A and B are shown apart, each in its own frame.
Chain A
Amino acid sequence: MSAALQARVGQRWRKPAFIKRPWLRYTLLIGTFLYLVAAIASIEVNWSRVYEGLDRGVAFIASFTNPDFTSRATDIWEGMIESLIMTVASSVVGILISIPIGLGAARNIAPLPVYVICRGIVAVSRALQEIIVAILLVAIFGFGPLAGFMTLSFATIGFLSKLLAEDIESMDKSQAEAIRATGSRWMQWINYGVQPQFMPRLIGLSMYRLDINFRESTILGLVGAGGIGATLNTAFDRYEFDTAAAILILIIGTVMFLEYVSGLIRARVQ
């Protein structure tokens, strides 16, 4: 037995620590704990206000037991239809635009200038929260679903392009290389060597985004960008909690349905 082996046999073996320097490791650990304690202590809770508010909360939840679908039926119906149209239209437009941007944002297939521009578009789209974009677009285009549609399309581009680009960056290089070796053009290379690799992910992400866009479309109404959110907002403003409950139930049902369908489709495209 060699000396090096002799020294190790009979000794305990532990996985090396992620942060090697013990003082740094413990400083970080204790620091995190202290910060957490300080942060929780800094939250101010007005317990008497919470006690008063509980009644309202109960009234709100109680209204779910008798949701009112009928008295505002036409408003609810129109709002739902508007939301669904916004969702589908913005998803389709957003997905179509995000495919070229996603290709451009993948470092392994795009030249540097294209990459920088496409990453820039993605960064801007992701940095701006939907509500902020919606407020801006409502100011430009006025109240209504057009602003909502544009907001959701814009948000879809950021989301889908980024994830698509990351999928392309992690693709199998040899498959793409083999297609390049046949003397294919760039477009053929993408179509044969790259597209088959990212297609399942694109379909999965698109379904997921459709689902997100519907949920977002219910919020955008709060800032006047159309859809069921506008109807919901009106119901709250009039203290018609039973109508609001009916709308929320419809939203929850639709989201669950979309979730189920998109899960089904994603499982099948692998």
Chain B
Amino acid sequence: MLRLVELDKTYPTGDKALKSVDLEVPQGQVLALIGPSGAGKSTLIRCINRLVEPTSGSVFLGDVDLTKLGSGALRRERRRMGMIFQEYALVERLTVMENVLSGRLGYVGFWRSFTRRFPQSDVDEAFRLLDRVGLLEMADKRADELSGGQRQRVGICRALIQNPALLLVDEPTASLDPKTSRQIMRLICELCAERDLAAIINIHDVALAQMFVQRVVGLRFGAIEFDGPPDALTPDVLTRIYGEEDWEATIEKVEDEDEMVTA
């Protein structure tokens, strides 16, 4: 469904953020992208929807090579890729409802969006999504009145109302407390399962990733270092991705938590 072919990104400063990355994500698969800060995780997902222009290589979404598209065609393809951001990236001075409906901007004309007269089906869907994440009564609040976890739920609604085929998720839990982090991760994974969505989730918290995803890809210095199921993440592998450290505690913690969750 999504296929990256020899994707390269070199920043004008000369930093090689991605080095010939090949990756294939089938429909419905939720993939966690782990790796140290600066390994190129953020760059990788931004190269997919071209918020960052890749230097060379191809990105196929279905049969379309996104790297070859002009601005109009790129805009239409971006509708199929919902993005969820670190620190939520809600437009703070807009209401919750406006933030959610902004996910439909690619589908409606300028005047409709300017006057906030979205098609009834979009409005209904926005309410349904807000209800699904438990924020229906917050619809007319301003986004900056919400707590971190609530904001990220709105961010999820904004991505889902695009009716995407793929979710690009950049550090969704970076500024959330441990409990909210799990709730958000659970919500994202549940919604992906409900809608048969593929997702790439950048995440720092290895234990959290292991709890929820089917596949983990480890990135180091812009290249793929590990690709496999979460339980194949041994201390050895983590050392290869992150460098030398005592990993037993991280992995043990996961097992404890798994028992807790199943109990």
Contacts and interface: CB of A to CB of B under 8 A. Distances in A.
Interface of A: 172, 174-175, 177-185, 187-189, 191-193, 196-197, 199-200
Contact of B89 (A174, A183, A197): A174
B91 A179 contact: yes
Contacts of A175: 89-92
A178 B75 contact: no
Contacts of A191: 110, 113-114
B102 A184 contact: yes
Nearest to B79: A183
Contacts of B91: 175, 178-179, 192-193, 196-197
B103 A182 contact: yes
Nearest to B78: A183
Contact of A178 (B77, B89, B113): B89
Contacts of B64: none
B113 A188 contact: yes
Interface in B57-83: 75-79, 81, 83
Contacts of B81: 181
A3 to B, nearest CB: 27
Contacts of B83: 178, 181-182
Given A188-B105, A191-B113, A181 B75 contact: no
A178 B105 contact: no
A188 B49 CA distance: 18
By Cβ-Cβ distance, the 6 closest A-B pairs, closest first, are A183-B106, A183-B78, A184-B105, A178-B89, A196-B93, A183-B79
B85 A178 contact: yes
A183 B114 contact: no
Given A182-B83, A193-B91, 11 more contacts: A174-B87, A177-B85, A182-B104, A182-B158, A183-B78, A183-B106, A188-B114, A189-B105, A192-B102, A192-B105, A196-B91
A201 to B, nearest CB: 11
B29 interface: no
A265 B76 CA distance: 41
B51 interface: yes
Interface string B139-182: 00000000000000001001000100000100000000000000
Contacts of A196: 91-94
